[in-house]
Structure 1
Amino acid sequence: MYACVLVAAGTGTRANLGYNKLRYLVNQKPLFWYAFKPFYDRGYEMVVVINPEDENFVRSYLPEDVKIVYGGKSRSESVRNGLTHVTKNHVLIHDAARVRIDDELIEQVENGLHIYKACVLSKRVTNTIYHKNSGLEILDRTFLYQAETPQAFITEEIRKAYTKNNPLATDDVSMYQSAFNDEVGLILHEKNNDKITYQKDIEMFEKEVEKHMIKIGHSYDIHALVENRKLILGGVEIPHQLGLLGHSDADVLLHAVAESILGALGLGDLGTLFPDTDNKYKDIDSKIILSEVVQRMKNMGYKVSNIDCSIFAEKPKLAAFIKQIKESVSTLLNTPQEAVNIKAATNEKMDAIGNEKAMAASATVLLIKGE
């Protein structure tokens, strides 16, 4: 039902990068990608307007079903070129430099199109504004609004407006109003939807992204030691006369690892996701449990940066098995071995662990956003 014309054909000279600022990589993705993704994820028909010299770079980041169109000498010409490739009844026109656009703002604009034939994402002006003529005249900010993008229209109407090419129009709404008298809806919001213009704007956005790129989780697990059970730690069977008691195979280390990841992601705990009241998890291999948790992590766009684990056991001595356990955990997490640390310690003969009645493990994990 909706299309988006994403305007990315500027040069970005004020950012002083020596190339189009929208190609600047933040967390291994170009700036334009952050403006593109929210629309694409909502199923929009995407028309991306670019400079010809950026084509190879842009294509390397976009899916094959995205339409790529060359821009013109002005923003108006670029938008006009993009509109010729739109096939949907409604179109949202968005500047790729507004990289903070999100689902909530897009949905507000979509709702505006249910009321108005055209609408614009906007903010109330809160600063004092002067009009300078012979002196300084204060403008009544009660009636002042700051226009942003996306700006949304019936496709055929905005396409018709752009054929008139009003040289005084400075954005899509002013172009629309040069051809139609319909009321334009102001979609007011208070979020940060500012454009990336200068290098300092890029630096600020990088910090914002990085703030949401890192998640930390911690977990501690303990199981009783009993006879007639295998002792499995980190997916490795350890020779010992006692094993760990549990509804699953009771791999205390993998439980701590899995739960630390769940904690980092805010997904609760193992008891909630794999309840010991459910017989389908009876004696389940904890490698399966961890694999399911890792898949959830991947689905949310995260991966393990590094993890630090401790096993607390009086006996057996685990030094000879640490390397094998580390390899196993590394494989299960799909992360390099150097990102995995496994330590073993006794409890100095204190409490249940020190009296060989239990074993415990802890894990602290750092997750980062990225493929």
Structure 2
Amino acid sequence: MNMIESLWAVIPAAGAGVRAGSKVPKQFVEIAGKTILEWTTDRIMSMPEVSGGVLALPRGYESHGSVRWIVETLALKHNKPLVTVTGGQTRQESVGLALEKIPPHVSWVMIHDGSRPLISRDLALRVIQAAREHSAAVCGTSLSDTVKAIVPSHQGDLCFVHSTLSRDGIVTVQTPQVFKLSLLRQCHETAKRDGFTGTDDGQLVERYGYKVAVVEGERTNFKVTFPGDFALAAALLEKQASGSEPASGAEHFGEMNRPGSGSRRARRARRLLQREEAPVPVTGFGFDVHPLVHGRKYVLGGVEIPWPKGLLGHSDADVLCHAVADAVLGALSLGDIGKWFPPEDSRFRDASSLGLLADIWSTAGKISEIVHLDCTLVAQEPRLSPYIEHMRYNISQVFSISMDKISIKATSPEKLGSLGQGQGIAAFCVATLIKKGRG
């Protein structure tokens, strides 16, 4: 198969994660600076073998801020399509819905749990290779603990041992799992028709008589499930990011290594991880204009200015904050303020534009730093210079930067055009940022 051009990833992340004990679904919990889902998606989408991805999400989370961040930023970062779908009541339903989103030209699909953020490319490659030879492949780890069958008692939660099972030939199965796309679609359709629900996609394929290859998994590739898993995953991710641990769990645990190859690969992984990505300066330009009308507040840079007229718009129509927002978003290729806060959305009616700017920066600030903002206001009246320092202060607080990184100038249109007739106010902004390395 042509892996680079015809393999898509499906990342099921629609579960509630109740066993994790968090207030939000576990995939949206932040560890080591990113949400679990972002860690997972970033690693999957960074693989050259994957040419696109589908995120299956809980209902109501399709427009969640962190989801919007993942889809817009990672699609741009890796230059690959990344789409979302609302998941179903079960994992199987969610995967089935995601399969429908994959383009018709794609031949292969990789399924990987959204709550397994420590996947390594080495593991993915081995599963892909096995699937290439056998049409279906999963990964799994052998058991180290004794396994016993138990029976319930009539004494509360107490159970009794029924028998001790042999560990021979038993593995605990992980993801990624890779399948011929047509085969997996067929098995999902048949299972739906039969009313059968499996615990993973490999079970559906094997149930209908197809062989599923198994490759050795990695013990670091665990599924974040219980409260204690968060701290362990965070520690491992931080170690990998710092270069003190290799990215492959198989190397860390001494499994699956060819004689003499593990140390060389580990050293190479450390060298790659220790290379700091050079900061990338980027520039964005923002412009906004709003009419002046009676019955509205006159707000610029979060400062309410006493004046008979105010700016007309869906929010508080703060043209300065809007221009700054568009400049920042433009520098990072993240769209414009209208895309983030649609004017038809009633939630943003009369909203503070300074607050909207802060919301944008809560996301954009994760991958960038402000170097300088150069702003110009164009207004015939009133005289704005008395309010400029207050505007600079407000905006500096949004970005948590010093005021010397913010320039705001006001100029008159000299009674030319509609602005010169006092019918509106315009704002311009040039934003210079530095992109942070994202790992």
- Counterparts of 2:114 and 2:240, CA distance in 1: 21
| 2:233 counterpart SS class | helix
1:163 pairs, out of 186, 189, 197, with: 189
Counterpart check, 1:116 vs 2:134: yes
CA distance in 2: counterparts of 1:214 and 1:118, whole angstroms: 35
Choose from 51, 60, 66 the match for 2:69.
60
Query: Which of 192, 204, 221 pairs up with 1:175?
Result: 204
The corresponding residue for 1:48 is 55
Scaled by the length of structure 1, the TM-score of the pair is 0.57
Pairing of 1:303-322 with structure 2 (within 5 A):
none
| Deviation larger for 124-133 or 93-102 | 124-133
Alignment of 1:189 onto 2:189:
no
SS in 1 for 2:134: coil
What SS does the aligned partner of 1:119 have? strand
Task: Report the residue type matching 1:59 in the other structure.
Answer: R
> In structure 2, what is the Cα distance between the partners aligned to 1:2 and 1:215?
29
SS at match of 1:55: coil
Tell me if 1:145 matches 2:171.
yes
Match in the other structure for 2:109:
91
Work out the CA distance in 1 between the residues paired with 2:271 and 2:214. 36
| Cα drift, residue 302 of structure 1 | 11
**Residues 47 and 190 of structure 1: CA distance in aligned 2, closer, same or farther (over 3 Å):** closer
Q: In 1, are the aligned partners of 2:148 and 2:161 still within 8 Å (CA)?
A: no
Following superposition, the deviation at residue 182 of structure 1 comes to 2.5
| Alignment partners' CA distance in 1, 2:58 and 2:218 | 32
Shift of 1:210: 2.7
Residues 272-306 of structure 1: CA deviation (Å, up to 9, x unaligned): xxxxxxxxxxxxxxxxxxxxx98x5448x9999xx
Contact 1:86 1:155 (8 Å CA) reproduced: no
Q: Give the equivalent residue in structure 1 for 2:24.
A: 19
- Where 2:23 maps in the other structure, the secondary structure is coil
Distance 1:213 1:183, change over 3 A: closer
d(CA) in 2 for partners of 1:298, 1:142: 52
2:278–2:437 CA contact under 8 A, matched in 1: no
AA at the equivalent of 2:86: Y
Q: Which residue of 1 aligns with 2:93?
A: 77
- Give, in whole Å, the separation in 2 of the partners of 1:151 and 1:3: 12
List runs of 5+ in structure 1 lacking aligned partners.
Answer: 217-264, 268-292, 305-335, 338-367
CA distance in 2, matches of 1:8, 1:168: 17
Native 8 Å contact 2:127 2:178 kept in 1: yes
**Aligned counterparts of 2:22 and 2:36: Cα–Cα separation in 1:** 13
Are 1:113 and 1:119, in contact at CA under 8 Å, matched by a contact in 2? yes
CA offset digits 1:43-93 (Å, max 9, x no partner): 421011001322223122223531100100111111110111123101011
Distance of aligned partners of 1:22 and 1:131 in 2 relative to their CA distance in 1, 3 Å threshold: same
Q: After superposing the two structures, state which structure 1 stretch, 170-179 or 52-61, moved more.
A: 52-61
Q: CA deviation at 1:195?
A: 0.5
TM norm structure 2? 0.49
Q: May I ask how many residue pairs the two structures share in their alignment?
A: 234
Distance 1:89 1:22 in 2: 28
Contact kept, 8 Å, 2:10 with 2:55, in 1: the verdict is yes
1:219-298 aligned at under 5 Å gives the runs 296-298=277-279
Give how far 1:149 is off. Answer: 0.7
Matched, 1:106 2:134: no
Partner residue in 1 for 2:327: none
- The superposition leaves residues 214-233 of structure 1 with CA deviations (integer Å, 9 ceiling, x where unpaired) of 479xxxxxxxxxxxxxxxxx
Distance 1:196 1:209 in 2: 13
**RMSD over aligned Cα atoms:** 3.1
Using a 3 Å threshold, how does the CA distance of structure 1 residues 159 and 215 change in structure 2: closer, same or farther? closer
Deviation at 1:201, TM superposition (A): 0.7
1:308 corresponds in structure 2 to none
Paired with 2:147 and 2:84, the residues of 1 have a C-alpha distance of: 39
Deviations 1:170-226 (A, max 9, x none): 2111111222x232101113441110012211111122223344479xxxxxxxxxx
Aligned counterpart, 1:252? none
- Between stretches 22-31 and 3-12, larger displacement belongs to 22-31
Task: Tell me which of 10, 35, 45 is aligned to 2:15.
Answer: 10
CA drift of 1:146 comes to: 0.8
5+ residue gaps, structure 2, are 1-5, 76-80, 152-159, 245-269, 281-365, 370-400, 403-435
Q: SS at 2:71's partner residue?
A: coil
Residue 100 of structure 1 deviates from its aligned partner by 0.6
Provide the residue aligned with 1:32 in structure 2: 37
Question: Helix, strand or coil: the match of 1:120?
Answer: strand
Residue 180 of structure 2 corresponds to residue 154 of structure 1: yes
